A and B are shown apart, each in its own frame.
Chain A
Amino acid sequence: MSRKHHHVIGKDIRKVDGRQLVTGAPAFTTDFPEKGMLIGKILGSPEAHARIRSIDTSGARAIPGVHVVLTHENVRGGAPWSEARPDLFPRVAYTRAGQDYVEPSPWDFFLLDSKVRHVGDRVAAVAAESEEIALEALSKIRVEYETLPAVFTPEEAMRPGAPVVHDEPEIVRAEDSARNLCASVDVTLGDPAAGFAEADAIVEEVYRLQRVQHAQMELHAAIARLDNEGRLIVICTTQVPFHTRRQIAQALGLSIGRVRVIKPRIGGGFGGKQEMMIEDLCSALALASGRPVRLELSRYEDMNAARSRHSMAIRLKTGAKKDGMLTAIEMTALVDAGAYGSHSPTVPTNTGNKNLPRYRCRNVRYAFDAYYTNLPPTGAMRGYGTPQGTFALECHMDEVAEKLGMDPVEFRLKATVREGDADELSPHIYEVKKENVPEDERIVWRFNSCGLQDCIRKGADAIGWAEKRRAHDAWNAKNTRIKRGIGMATASQGSGVAGIDTAGATIKLNEDGSVALYVGAVDVGSGGDTVIAQIVAETLGIEVADVTVFASDTDITPFDSGAYASSTTYVSGGAALRAAEEVRAEILGAAAEMLGVPSGELRLEERRIAPEGGKGVSLRDVATFLAYQKKVQVEKTVTHVSPVSPPPFAAQFADLEVDVETGRVRVVDFVTAVDAGTILNPNLAEGQVHGAVSMGIGYALSEELLFDAKGRPRSRGFLDYKILKATGMPRLRTIFVETYEPSGPFGVKAVAEIPTNGPAPAIGNALRQALGVRLRDLPFTPEKVLRAIGKL
């Protein structure tokens, strides 16, 4: 397919949901209160690891205005929920990770349990007439805990005889819960030992990454109610409405058909809402009380009892020839899963397979072990394990370049992949575990679009790589307090989960030629609804204003796996494109009948159908003809799955200053050159880059969730968990290196996650030039900087 002139694709179209957002109209979950709505609250555990010996709720129940108090005593037996005992729920193991069925994540969680596994874990829940009454009720619940010894790091968790976080018999799919091993992978391609043997230089180092948090502005919230026929209706802040519906049904013992999940506008997700955080419990409170219930986490709970990015220690060993060709790479990661295994088999998988294939190397091993600990669960977060691997690998590759005496840019140009190269690792991490994959059995994906070389060159030009590298050395030789450095990193990601992410789209033609578009896809703020509408408008020769987007409601819109893995434009957009093509075929068929011209000779453009150079008919007339003469409601539904996940590529560059007296790092200029295939909406795509970069800079410099020796959170809110403010941002520059990805609608790949991967290593590599020492532990706080240079 070749590029052609587009009327909507590639334009800065305003967001289709923009007006309601700038006017502050009711748009988000808690903007839709129900009449008679109760307020739900959760009692979180003060203990990191304990059994509940006894729990007395009589004081809470006695408070006027308290409707329901639920504890693990309400969760027992196997009988599904019924109206006969509305406060009794089955004890069922499930996962809250919003993934396709059957989830790769272990089923290791219960609605409420007699054991708590992290501070903030669910102990009880109440629903009351007001927030004040609900909070008072929580304070009146008397709990006697039997404190158990706890493990707070993977190193502690793996020790023989360590306390076992999950000793319940119902647990499903954990790797080896008796050893606290949640998930594990070990894949080898080629012969790394032989590769190291032929290397001219070998570098081996360990890189450490902290826990960080999504810190999306809208807190987790849900409103659950029963409709007049007793069906459960849940409006909630979710990236995964269909998975949430299924998991609510599983957790409470309801049929899926009795549950409806509605997603309004979402105030940011970043993966934190790829999780049924509270919808199960909010639903239970509504079923038990028979009243609508709102459950919303506080910022403290959201930050400390919801999800966070997996902390890891990553060991890398690389062999290279003098000319920069790599002979072997071995990457092993030790991963903190936290108390429940949400996303812990898949996030660390990405750490290797979304990074290692970026380098040309035939001998590769990737392995990880993810251990349960008594800290809050880690989970999905923008980049999904990739940023950890990118930090380690890109700092490491700078170290390899340094050992070879090569410039980092020159080295990357030599060692990274190009269009047509094979990716042999990624398909195998899904296919096999713990096996050496013989050459003749390898499944190979190819990079059918790859602009990485151009990204490196254009990004280097934009930041002034060669001149600044020299100028900073000269500056650093003369200046004692402010040191300067420039650094770079390459990055890659995926576009959806290959063969798994599923998206449905329905398009209904109105009799004036406008359309209604129903997608299960979730626009988490990224502009997904807008770009999908652009795809439909382009295909049907109409304007975006002619497309009304409905998304998403499990009763009305077709199934979609949800908004994760950078899938919305590539996968859900793919479904919309195919549905639009089917609608277009119907329109052309009707026009052919009206005009007496074969439909193959007709073109649909600018709301008009005509043969090349001939007399035509308006789309409105064709649509009216279909509706009132042919008596046909044109409506097409398409389900789309992509067998591949083509990676977007990027090169990112940081120019910074460090004050060696205070240890403070200030990023001055940041350039992202990204190949995300065709750019459908430059303004929105650039916004994705900006947000991802700011998150990446926070990861590098200031963000860290901290816990005390008893596993209690020390980051209570935004006062001590520092995300960047408008005044703390450097100049951000974005270069789109457009390629054409043949498997994506209009040649697109994903853009939402990839730019969050490179800032931390680019900054780490810049610090190497500025300080003359290598920092391998994130975040680069003033304290760590001062320690690294021997000033503390």
Chain B
Amino acid sequence: MPIEIRVTVNGEAKVFRVMPGERLSEVLRREGYVSVKVGCSTGDCGTCTVLVDGEPIVSCLMLAAQADGTEITTTEGLAPPRALHPLQEAFLDEGAVQCGFCTPGMLLAAKALLDRNPSPTEAEIRKALAGTLCRCTGYENPVRAVRRAAERMREGGE
């Protein structure tokens, strides 16, 4: 029997009909939020990371039903239409995107970090990104990009 859940996705109120066993990652993809990538379905790779009430979670390990009443951010919601978030700009500038499959998860993990810590150390950035596996970049340029975005956001905020 389908269940109705009420969630806010990227600032928009939504009602989704979901099956009791359905994962949040599946439902979000079905509803068109294809930035949510699925690389393992066992919670190990982190490509399906989304923010639920501001916290990064692997959406393949959360039942959609559990998300009822929450606020969800996916990469589609990082910036207004036609604009890019400083993290997105920095990822492009620093060559931090290769295949791009893990990029949405990494961007959201980085956003969660910068939301609570605008001046992270390199170790803190690495720790925040450690939940997202990337086979392309060796993490070097993504770490550099997060640092660069943090700098730009601090300057922009002054």
Contacts and interface: CB of A to CB of B under 8 A. Distances in A.
B62 interface: no
Contact of B98 (A12, A30, A527, A723): A527
Contacts, number: 174
B15 interface: no
Contacts of A218: 37, 39, 99, 101
Interface stretch (B1-9, B63-71, B122-130, B150-158): B122-130
Q: Bin the interface of chain A by size.
A: 35 or more
Nearest to B102: A217
B59 interface: no
Nearest to B77: A24
Interface in A624-668: none
Contact of A21 (B100, B126, B130, B133): B100
Contacts of A691: 98, 135-138
A422 interface: no
Nearest to A733: B140
Interface stretch (A164-172, A261-269, A352-360): A261-269
Contacts of A214: 135
Contact of A217 (B41, B93, B134): B134
Contact of A12 (B76, B95, B135, B137): B95
A38 to B, nearest CB: 15
Contact of A18 (B47, B97, B126, B133): B97
Contacts of A687: 95-96, 98, 136-137, 140-141
Interface stretch (A95-103, A277-285, A451-459, A724-732): A724-732
Looking at chain A's contact residues, the main secondary structure is loop
Contacts of A270: 135
Contacts of A526: 98, 136
Contacts of A267: 37, 39, 99-101
A686 B99 contact: no
A249 interface: no
Nearest to A696: B138
B141 to A, nearest CB: 6
Nearest to A725: B130
B40 A717 contact: yes
Nearest to B87: A22
B150 to A, nearest CB: 15
B34 A732 contact: no
Interface in B74-107: 74-76, 78-79, 84, 88, 91-104, 107
B121 interface: no
Contacts of A718: 40, 42, 44-45, 133
A253 interface: no
Interface string A334-367: 0000000000000000000000000000000000
B124 to A, nearest CB: 11
Given A12-B93, A18-B100, A22-B97, 11 more contacts: A218-B37, A267-B99, A524-B99, A690-B138, A691-B137, A717-B42, A718-B40, A718-B42, A725-B133, A726-B126, A727-B126
Interface of B: 33-42, 44-45, 47, 74-76, 78-79, 84, 88, 91-104, 107, 125-127, 129-130, 132-143
9 closest Cβ pairs, A-B complex: A24-B35, A525-B99, A21-B100, A267-B101, A683-B95, A690-B138, A694-B138, A24-B75, A718-B44
